[in-house]
Copies of this chain bind each other. A is one copy, B any other.
Amino acid sequence: MRIGLDVMGGDFAPDAIIEGAYDSLQHLPADDNLVLIGDKDAIYRKLEAMKVDPSLFEVVHTSEVIEMGDHPAKAFSQKKDSSIAVGYGMLKNNTLDGFCSAGNTGAMLVGASYTVNVIPGVLRPALAVVLPCIDNRQSVILDVGLNPDCKPDVLLQYGILGTIFAKYVLEDENPTVGLLNIGEEETKGTSAVKMAYEFMKGHPGLNFVGNIEGNSLFRESMPDVVVCDGFAGNVILKLGESFHHMFKQRGLKDSYFDSLDFENIGGTPIVGINANVVIGHGISKRKAVMNMIIRTREVAHANLAQKIKEAI
């Protein structure tokens, strides 16, 4: 398994990225290869300062950097020797099994659409996120920001994509799927959600448990897969962050609430494209980078993209 890491992307690149890469090694099987993609001088300099043997990694040198403020589409097409463009190129020619970056999110999405492409049959790719529930289960929620306006057929397909994700990445045999709504009754919600309910309730490919409300999120009653549009999903993800932040601010300690830190979340996989790609938070430091790499390895190990291709 070869996992590519964009060393140049993120507010604390390249140092924090390389530190996280080093920490991730103890969580990866010995025969996996972690490929550091970025300026080789910066990489070797940092590894030397850390007194880390460079032979633990592969290094692919790139001469350009897509900055956090760059225009995504322009930067991606013009900076062909940037770490993001090179990473996607390696995905496309199958020299990587997975790729991750805490860099320019827009450029990562451009690469997803234009280099590796959407899987035929997938209506809209989604950003998924794996959240810890209070009863120690993990639950995947999608979309969390790619498609703020979702049509009913897209929501239905998110249920299917989420089921595949839960089955192969989280190893849930028969994952339950819930539709986020403002009430349990099937007559509740937006017109899109009401129709999605109709589509989902009889669908043979889904273990559909019906509508779930905001007060089920993170709790025992949270299904294994939560389907919602990218607007609500994004608000949920960021509100979780907000609560975690306030929790820390008040000087509180609790193993569950501590686990809600974005640093533990491991980034957001892009689901529905022809490659296994994970996007990290721009403010990722050492620990967040480590978890992003571990998540990418999980997604690549499950070969999520291939599983979706077979199912759709």
Instruction: Point out residues on A near B: beta carbons under 8 Å.
Output: 134, 145, 148-149, 180, 182, 188-191, 193, 213-219, 230-232, 234-239, 241-243, 245-247, 249-250, 252, 254, 256-257
- Asked if A216 meets B242 with Cβ closer than 8 Å, knowing A134-B249, A182-B145, A254-B250, the reply is yes
> In the complex, what's the smallest C-beta–C-beta distance from A60 to chain B, in angstroms?
31
- Asked if A242 meets B254 with Cβ closer than 8 Å, knowing A190-B148, A193-B148, A230-B182, the reply is no
Q: Which 9 A-B pairs rank lowest in CB-CB distance, beginning with the nearest?
A: A214-B238, A214-B235, A182-B234, A215-B238, A214-B239, A148-B190, A215-B242, A149-B190, A215-B241
Q: Are A182 and B239 in contact (CB under 8 A)?
A: no
Q: Which residues of chain B are within 8 angstroms of A214 by Cβ–Cβ distance? A: 234-239, 241-242
Task: Provide the bound-state CA to CA distance between A274 and B54, in Å.
Answer: 73
> In the complex, what's the smallest C-beta–C-beta distance from A142 to chain B, in angstroms?
14
> In the complex, what's the smallest C-beta–C-beta distance from A261 to chain B, in angstroms?
13
Q: Which residues of chain B are within 8 angstroms of A252 by Cβ–Cβ distance? A: 252, 254, 257
Task: Provide the bound-state CA to CA distance between A293 and B22, in Å.
Answer: 59
> In the complex, what's the smallest C-beta–C-beta distance from A137 to chain B, in angstroms?
14
Q: List 15 A-B contacts (CB under 8 A).
A: A134-B246, A134-B249, A213-B234, A213-B238, A214-B235, A215-B239, A215-B241, A217-B239, A218-B242, A218-B243, A232-B235, A235-B236, A236-B239, A243-B243, A247-B257
Partner of A231, one of B145, B190, B245, B250: B190
- Asked if A191 meets B231 with Cβ closer than 8 Å, knowing A236-B214, A238-B213, A238-B214, the reply is no
- Asked if A182 meets B246 with Cβ closer than 8 Å, knowing A148-B190, A236-B239, the reply is no
> In the complex, what's the smallest C-beta–C-beta distance from A21 to chain B, in angstroms?
27
> In the complex, what's the smallest C-beta–C-beta distance from A246 to chain B, in angstroms?
5
Q: Are B245 and A256 in contact (CB under 8 A)?
A: no
Q: Are B189 and A231 in contact (CB under 8 A)?
A: yes
- Asked if A245 meets B257 with Cβ closer than 8 Å, knowing A189-B148, A214-B237, the reply is no
Task: Provide the bound-state CA to CA distance between A217 and B235, in Å.
Answer: 9
Q: Are A215 and B134 in contact (CB under 8 A)?
A: no
Task: Provide the bound-state CA to CA distance between A180 and B230, in Å.
Answer: 13
Q: Are A219 and B239 in contact (CB under 8 A)?
A: no
Q: Which residues of chain B are within 8 angstroms of A215 by Cβ–Cβ distance? A: 238-239, 241-242, 245
Task: Provide the bound-state CA to CA distance between A182 and B268, in Å.
Answer: 15
Task: Provide the bound-state CA to CA distance between A238 and B249, in Å.
Answer: 22
> In the complex, what's the smallest C-beta–C-beta distance from A72 to chain B, in angstroms?
12
> In the complex, what's the smallest C-beta–C-beta distance from A264 to chain B, in angstroms?
16
Q: Which residues of chain B are within 8 angstroms of A230 by Cβ–Cβ distance? A: 182
Q: Which residues of chain B are within 8 angstroms of A231 by Cβ–Cβ distance? A: 182, 189-190, 193, 232
Partner of A235, one of B180, B241, B242, B246: B180
